[in-house]
Structure 1
């Protein structure tokens, strides 16, 4: 059975690494990026769907693919979707910062509402497994707004009846970003020094490609657990 990966947050640090690894993974025949704007990349496996995440639940995946099927290249994919002959997995690396969102309300809308809308939509179209990039320290009871929101997302994802839900909690992410973040850069260096050993080791910064590799690994693993939390230290081996 052919596999379809549906990805959100593909333009981000983890998301871009995830895309490259899905492209090179022979078990995934199609990679569908769902985003607010087209990515400036091309690949034979790549399909793109530009959406408003606020109204995503009302979007017909098959209908949108039919609009793009001008030359007939997507006919087999559409037929496979209609006949439920695809294994579909969702991958979510969607997220922002309060600075970029400009308010806590906008941050919550993107990091919580849009993520949940995307997860429900992938399940609606047949996804059995879902992989979500959360954050180390995610806790819905936390007094830290960022951690609290991430914790709420995790809890709300558990209400969607996926066969498997993978929750990935990375520490500070390492990798090349499009924008410069001086404070974050300094924080990464300090964190690398103080977390090399001891009880603080779980806070050691992690490369984005390692998080992506862990997600791909879980995509190929037959888990007995319906919900599995993969912490940053566990992803360091990839």
Structure 2
């Protein structure tokens, strides 16, 4: 076993695409999906672990895998993690909206605290690279609360000593969400011409699978840079 992926946010738009692409990628032997609940999807390369992101830093991954491995199918994975003989990349697309979260405080907890907790846990468990879905306009000084929080997350992730940190800043995401977001649907209609005419790559909507593809590309790209901010435009040319 040479390479595995930690993945948080699997049930979301980009996270689901990352998972599907990692399953199909022969370079990754296993994917460990970390989530608040398990998905119905099953695959030989996929292991799902339920966790509370508030307390994830206390989670013993080896013990959790053994607890869920009644048939012994995860033995090689557990041994690889235990012996630190595997390369680990962590992918994070955790996020919500203030409306879905119910309040600014809960939104901050999910979009900031949970992300940082997952990143710290991933680093503690051997992840060398961390790939995070942020947002176009992320800036801790932004007057837009959503972008302000995303900017704070980016700055806090930079403190964690990963070998490489990829910060992906997509514009409006195109894909099939489980929940209806009225504002996003209106924005999609208004900006669709930019996609059709291939205009304004910096701002035009981007498909979920394009973001996922870019994340995996940068995870495996040889680079001397410790941090890369990947723009909406850059993701569309990978």
What TM bracket, shorter-length normalisation? over 0.9
Residues of 1 paired with 2:201 and 2:66: CA distance? 49
Taking structure 1 as the reference length, the TM-score comes to 0.96
Point out the more displaced range, 200-209 or 157-166.
200-209
Other-structure match for 2:156: 156
Q: Assess if the C-alpha contact under 8 Å between 1:139 and 1:151 holds in 2.
A: yes
CA 1:189/1:99 → structure 2, altered by over 3 Å: closer, same or farther? same
Q: Assess if the C-alpha contact under 8 Å between 2:131 and 2:168 holds in 1.
A: yes
Per-residue deviation, 1:197? 6.9
Other-structure match for 1:36: 36
Matched position secondary structure for 2:228 = strand
Matched position secondary structure for 1:28 = coil
Q: Assess if the C-alpha contact under 8 Å between 2:127 and 2:162 holds in 1.
A: yes
Other-structure match for 1:146: 146
Name structure 1 gaps, 5 residues minimum. Answer: none
Other-structure match for 2:219: 219
Matched position secondary structure for 2:29 = strand
1:222-237 to structure 2, matched below 5 A, reads 222-237=222-237
Other-structure match for 2:109: 109
Matched position secondary structure for 1:20 = helix
Residues of 1 paired with 2:168 and 2:69: CA distance? 35
Poorly superposed stretches of 4+, deviation over 4 Å: 194-198
CA 1:22/1:197 → structure 2, altered by over 3 Å: closer, same or farther? closer
RMSD: 1.3
Per-residue deviation, 1:73? 1.2
Per-residue deviation, 1:176? 0.8
Other-structure match for 1:16: 16
Other-structure match for 1:95: 95
Residues of 2 paired with 1:38 and 1:185: CA distance? 28
Name structure 2 gaps, 5 residues minimum. Answer: none
Matched position secondary structure for 1:202 = coil
Other-structure match for 2:68: 68
How big is each residue's C-alpha offset from its partner over 1:98-152, in whole Å with a ceiling of 9 and x where there is no partner?
0000100000000000000000000000000000000000000111100000000
Residues of 2 paired with 1:65 and 1:178: CA distance? 28
How big is each residue's C-alpha offset from its partner over 1:41-75, in whole Å with a ceiling of 9 and x where there is no partner?
01110101101000000000111111122221111
Per-residue deviation, 1:2? 1.3
Q: Assess if the C-alpha contact under 8 Å between 2:201 and 2:236 holds in 1.
A: no
Q: Assess if the C-alpha contact under 8 Å between 1:191 and 1:203 holds in 2.
A: no
